[in-house]
Structure 1
Amino acid sequence: MAQDPSDYLQRRRLRTGAAGWVLLAGLGVSYVISGDYSGWNFGLAQGGFGGLLVAGVGEALKVMFVITTVAVLGLLIFAVAAVPLFDAGNLVDIPPTDAAGASSFLPFGYLGIWSAVPFAIWFFLALEGVPLAAEEARDPERNVPRGIVAAMLVLLVTDALVLVLATGALGAQALSESGNPPVEALGGSTAGVVVNYVGLAGLVARFFSIIYAYSRQTFALSRAGYLPRVLSVTNGRKAPTLALIVPGAVGFLLSLTGQGDVLLNMAVFGAALSYVLMMVSHIVLRRTAPEMPRPYRTPGGVVTTGFALVVAVLAVIATFLVDPVAAGATLGAFALFMLYFALYSRHHLVAAAPDEEFAALAQAEAELT
């Protein structure tokens, strides 16, 4: 007996209206904030300072917002303490190589800019996860764009402060190998100790925001039939339990490999590849479905998207240059999921799911014409 579509969706429904733009902005910052504390600095070893410079729900979201606010305050404490230590000469203390275009500003030449791109992405990696909260947001047409823009503005300020002040305080050469850039830049000072402990808030914020992101992504793909449907069943509080647990268990097992740098680069490669696919999708939809309702329109249209597409393609290639093992492993995972789609899930999609409504309408229109 065929399952009632209304019953299917009723068992796979998230809590709606739980977040406004402020909480969504907090979610966006929490996705990225730990990247200000560590990870980006390894790009100094690839491109130097010049190369790197060129390149949510209910109670849970409120908790993440508070934790993220603490992490941002920690960065502001760092900035105040780092200003007296700043020395412009430290920004360019990596000796220039013999690469094309090499200088004190670009010690590894023009190619160094390209190689630093994956690490520059770390400053904003996962910000695109904010729209995953659209179904649980109030007035998503207005609040999701406002939340993303607000998060980007906050991150632009914190990223610039950390990049310039940390490098200027400790030096590009020393910072390129640091495991805790803001703390090591401040030395053994009291402010350094405070920032070290507050930095844990950044890690906690990113930890919980990534849990939120992967669970909602898994939920959406499962509800539409791209992944096993059992993963999208929600509990009494409208939370997708298995979508939270299963990917988390996979991530935990991967963490046991001890290959943190490889996993980081896999995340960057996966994000960059997804950016390519998103930009291509946007351009295709603007050309093939110009009359489709668009509550939010990208400033600049396909020109903006085209530029972003070029940058995303360069980032994908750059990841291969920096870590071909991580890029290859991620590409292999993508290939396996595409094979699963081709052989199974494309024959079991759920037309009644919100994720498939547009595809169903497009197919119906094509059949009529």
Structure 2
Amino acid sequence: MSSSNHGLARKLGGWQLWGIAVGLVISGEYFGWSYGWAQAGTLGFLLSSIFVAIMYTAFIFSFTELTTAIPHAGGPFAYARRAFGPVGGFIAGFATLCEFVFAPPAIALAIGAYLNVQFPELSAKWIACGAYIVFMALNIVGVSVAAAFELVVTLLAIFELLLFMGVVSPGFSWDNFTHHGWAGSDSFSLSAVGGMFAAIPFAIWFFLAIEGAAMAAEEAKDPSRTIPRAYVAGILTLVALAMGVMIMAGGAGDWSKLANINDPLPQAMKLIVGSNSGWLHMLVWLGLLGLIASFHGIIMGYSRQIFALARAGYLPPMLAVIHPRFKTPHRAIIVGGMIGIAAIFSDDLIQIAGQPLTANIVTLSVFGAIVMYIVSMLALFQLRRSEPALARPFSAPAYPLLPGLALACAVICLIAMIWYNQLLALIFAGSLAVAYAYYLLTHRQRAAAASDVLLEGNDAARLKPAVARSK
């Protein structure tokens, strides 16, 4: 891990990590969540979002224990590998890859949709493709430059969300928000309950990928201090913004016009200030910063996950190469980007269950996230049992109640997602089966990988002679 070819530079401070944690997620406040209104209505989706916010708050306070104890670029992959061995690492690594590789195309398409408001003659797909090229290049240049940029655009994106809430507040009406608020009805019913479960993936989109800051832990200057502060401040920031944006947008007018679109905030503001207001144009331009912050941050996240999996032999070793000048995993950045661009241009070819491509990509990304959350919480419990002496600079508060709450909520979310997205669940399971076949065929690749004490824990010394013999 310390070799010039396989080591990441420690350059990130507390504010930069907070910027990464919030920036990874903040696009979820700009788009994606409004698809939940189509499933559950405003009131039903509000309850779904509160449930998911509780899950994420419990999860982050628990997940931080793992991140500070095992500050590894693989994040959840490293925790599961150390707790459950290679197969556990494979499951967590695959799930995390699904989350971080599928999320960027959805965000890139939203960037295209926002710019299309200003420039209707431009293709949203080509704008999305251009965004990939620009931000892959920025990530390759260096982690310090990338993290500084992430912090600046995250702060501007937060300012813009607060500005949106302020501009629409004079026209806010609680009657608008509650009208047909139970899955298209004014009264609560069993169908409203079904809608709330069906809307869970879009509530998760409000917070999806905050755990990606764990993949920057190997590049943090003092992970035992900076990561807990970044995570706790990050989840509190995101909960406040998510609830504020959703409620203010829903009360701006006819919320049903904002469901199933990629730019709900500009359209909500248009209901208050009209189509030609300078406020609207400001929102479109500054609103891009929120999308850019998440897009840029998730590129950083998926590249570190690909890099860590390749370094451990779970993916081709060529993807674990570090750029000799910039010290960034440039090949991992490029390969993940190629997959995302292919997904963008598959829009007209892939139609699943009659849903827009963005909605399907969001759901697949959430499948990966929920599986990873479950495995991570199980890893926390296992490591508490198997390695009680492991240094834990931050311990999950109210253990085992808080991690248990996060685990139970995640299991409920997974069951609901499978029930309401059966075809996409089969696609996710089929992809897992194909990946597992690759895993079985590449055991020599893993045997030849360098020993990593953070992955192997107490078994590292025992494994070193075997690794040496395999080479």
1:32 aligns to 2:25 (yes or no) = yes
Contact 1:93 1:104 in 2 (8 A): no
- 1:170 aligns to what SS in structure 2? coil
Distance 2:253 2:261 in 1: 10
Distance 1:363 1:266, change over 3 A: farther
Q: Report the counterpart of residue 452 of structure 2 in structure 1.
A: 353
Map 1:71-86 → 2, pairs under 5 A: 71-86=157-172
Q: From 309, 318, 332, give the equivalent of 1:243.
A: 332
Instruction: Provide the C-alpha distance between the structure 1 equivalents of 2:183 and 2:284, rounded to a whole number of angstroms.
Output: 34
Report what 2:41 is aligned to.
48
Following the alignment from structure 1 to structure 2, what is the Cα–Cα distance between the partners of residues 319 and 302?
A: 26
Residue type of the partner of 1:209?
A: G
Q: Structure 1 residues 67, 11: closer, same or farther in 2, change over 3 A?
A: same
Are 2:196 and 1:127 equivalent residues in the alignment?
no
Say if 1:34 and 1:97 are closer, same or farther in 2 by CA, change over 3 A.
closer
Q: 2:373 corresponds to which residue?
A: 275
Q: State the partner residue of 1:232.
A: 320
Question: Which residue of 1 is the match for residue 136 of structure 2?
Answer: none
Aligned counterpart, 2:294: 206
Distance 1:311 1:284, change over 3 A: same
CA distance in structure 2 between the aligned counterparts of 1:133 and 1:158, rounded to whole angstroms: 24
Note if 1:136 corresponds to 2:224.
no
The one of 3, 14, 28 aligned to 2:8: 14
Aligned match of 1:161: 244
Q: Of the candidates 402, 409, 413, which is equivalent to residue 311 of structure 1?
A: 409
Counterpart code for 2:38: A
3-state SS of the aligned residue for 1:334? helix
- Give the whole-Å Cα distance in 1 for the aligned partners of 2:183 and 2:285: 37
Q: For 1:286-297, what aligned pairs fall within 5 Å after superposition?
A: 286-297=384-395
Displacement of 1:306 in angstroms is 1.4
Long gaps (5+) in structure 2 = 49-138, 348-356, 464-471
Looking at structure 1, the residues matched to 304 and 241 of structure 2 have their Cα atoms a distance apart, in angstroms, of: 27
Indicate yes or no: 2:387 matched with 1:299. Answer: no
CA distance in 2, matches of 1:114, 1:124: 17
1:216 to 304, 310, 313: 304
CA contact 1:320–1:327 (8 Å) conserved in 2: yes
Q: Distance in 2 between matches of 1:11 and 1:255?
A: 32
- Please say if 1:67 is aligned against 2:150: no
Q: Encode CA deviations 1:283-331: one digit per residue, 9 max, x unaligned.
A: 2222222222212211122221111112111222222234333332222
Equivalent-residue separation in structure 1 for 2:186 and 2:409 (angstroms): 24
Please state if 1:88 is matched with 2:174. yes
Shift of 1:144: 1.0
1:324-343 to 2 correspondences below 5 Å: 324-343=422-441
Q: Contact 2:16–2:151 at 8 Å: present in 1 too? A: yes
Q: Distance in 1 between matches of 2:182 and 2:296?
A: 41
Q: Give the drift of 1:119.
A: 0.6
Name the SS for the 1:239 alignment partner. coil
Counterparts of 2:245 and 2:189, CA distance in 1 = 19
Q: How many residues align?
A: 354
| Residues 31 and 345 of structure 1, relative CA distance in 2, 3 Å threshold | farther
Deviation at 1:263, TM superposition (A): 1.3
CA–CA distance in 2 between the matches of 1:190 and 1:106? 42
The alignment-based identity, stated in percent, is 36
Query: Does the C-alpha gap of structure 1 residues 354 and 61 become closer, same or farther in structure 2, counting only changes over 3 Å?
Result: farther
What is the CA-CA distance between 1:88 and the residue it aligns to? Answer: 0.3
CA change 1:21–1:82 in 2 (3 A) is same
Supply the distance in 2 between the matched residues of 1:50 and 1:346 (Cα, whole angstroms).
Answer: 53
Which residue of structure 2 aligns with residue 367 of structure 1? none
Larger CA deviation: 265-274 vs 308-317: 308-317
Deviation of the 1:355 alpha carbon: 4.1
Could you tell me how far apart the structure 2 residues matched to 1:106 and 1:21 are?
A: 46
Answer whether contact 1:48 1:106 (CA < 8 A) is retained.
no
Q: Secondary structure at the match of 1:40?
A: coil
Aligned match of 1:253? 342
Deviation at 1:204, TM superposition (A): 1.3
Counterpart CA distance in 2 for 1:90 and 1:107 is: 23
8 Å CA contact 2:42–2:181 kept in 1: the answer is no
Quick one: distance in 1 between partners of 2:37 and 2:371?
23
2:227 is paired with a residue whose SS is helix
1:231, CA displacement in angstroms?
A: 0.8
Counterpart contact for 2:453–2:460, Cα < 8 Å: no
Q: 1:347 to 1:97 in 2, by over 3 A?
A: closer
Tell me the distance in 2 between the aligned counterparts of 1:185 and 1:97: 19
Inter-partner Cα distance in structure 2 for 1:96 and 1:117? 15
Residue type matched to 1:86 in 2?
F
Which TM-score applies when normalising by structure 1? 0.89
| CA-CA distance at 1:178 after TM superposition | 3.5
Residue 190 and residue 321 in structure 1: after superposition, are their counterparts in 2 closer, same or farther (change >3 A)? Answer: farther
Would you say the 8 A contact 2:252–2:268 is kept in 1?
yes
- Residue identity in the other structure for 1:14: L
SS at match of 2:346: coil
Structure-1 separation of matches of 2:245 and 2:190: 20
Displacement over 3 Å in runs of 4+: 95-98, 102-108, 361-364
Question: Cα distance 1:195–1:97, how it changes in 2: closer, same or farther (>3 A)?
Answer: closer
